[in-house]
Amino acid sequence: MVSLAAVWQISSCAAASLAWAAAEGQPLLTRLSPQNRAIVLMALLGLVLVGMALVALAILGGRHIMREARRSHGPTPRYEDAWYRKPLFKRERDATRDDPNECV
């Protein structure tokens, strides 16, 4: 939840910016040329649409994860390879012999 102090701070900043714009006479957006105004508005629209897409993606991803978490996956199969017990490299005496059962 948003605290009351944060809302008050945001609203006071907005009021200060509105007062500053009123002191200038015209807002910055209306002082721009029509071409630059269209560029600024399209950029803001793009930011809003990207933000909404990110929120929608987060919601859909969360729904998918919750659905997968509810589904039973069964027991985990046992992996019998024991790769962690195998040596990382062969010893020299093992590497030189062709037959491991041969006596040295």
33: its two tokens = 């040329």
The whole-angstrom separation of Cα 47 and Cα 52 is: 9
> pTM, whole model, 2 decimals?
0.47
The whole-angstrom separation of Cα 48 and Cα 45 is: 5
* Each residue's pLDDT tens digit, 30-59: 888 899 999 999 999 999 999 999 999 999
**76 alpha-carbon distance from chain centroid:** 29
What pLDDT score does 2 carry? Answer: 55
What pLDDT score does 29 carry? Answer: 81
**Of 4-8, 27-31, 49-53, the least confident:** 4-8
What pLDDT score does 81 carry? Answer: 76
32: its two tokens = 């721009």
Query: pLDDT category, 62, cuts 50, 70, 90?
Result: very high
Higher pLDDT among residues 55 and 78, named by residue? 55
DSSP code per residue over 6-40: HHHHHHHHHHHHHHHHHHHSS-HHHHS-HHHHHHH
What pLDDT score does 95 carry? Answer: 56
